[in-house]
Amino acid sequence: MTMRVLLIDDDEAEHEIFSLALKKYNSSITVITANNLHESDALLKNFLPDAIFLDMYMPGINGIEALKRIKEIPDLRDARLYMYSAFYFTLEEKEALELGALRWIKKPDDFEAYQGLFKELFEQK
């Protein structure tokens, strides 16, 4: 079975590097990107991801509010959800984990760091 990943992030450049790095890590993974939660709502009608990477800081609705809404969707309760940000913020990280995020991830600085991140997250030991 092919793994399905959804990235919700308002940065188009992030979509590109994330998608390229994920495809290089494993070309059989399907990756879909959305600029915000509203855009992802339309995608989720036809695409149920196994993992969701959710940017913390997006215009309109922040990652914590988006996380709360995603966790209310029954079909997404089993999806692995990772908060994804350029920064570490202890209070937001704690809240995200309490709400069901598996981990707070600082966005990798380069392509190799993405490869290491995907290996760490997706290869079961």
pLDDT at 32: 93
What are the chain's domains?
4-120 (3.40.50.2300)
Residues 6+ apart with CB under 8 A from 52: 5, 6, 7, 8, 70, 76, 79, 80, 81, 82
The angle subtended at Cα 86 by Cα 94 and Cα 56, nearest 5°, is: 50
pLDDT per position as a tens digit, 56-100: 988 888 889 999 989 888 888 888 999 988 877 777 888 999 999
d(CA 24, CA 20): 6
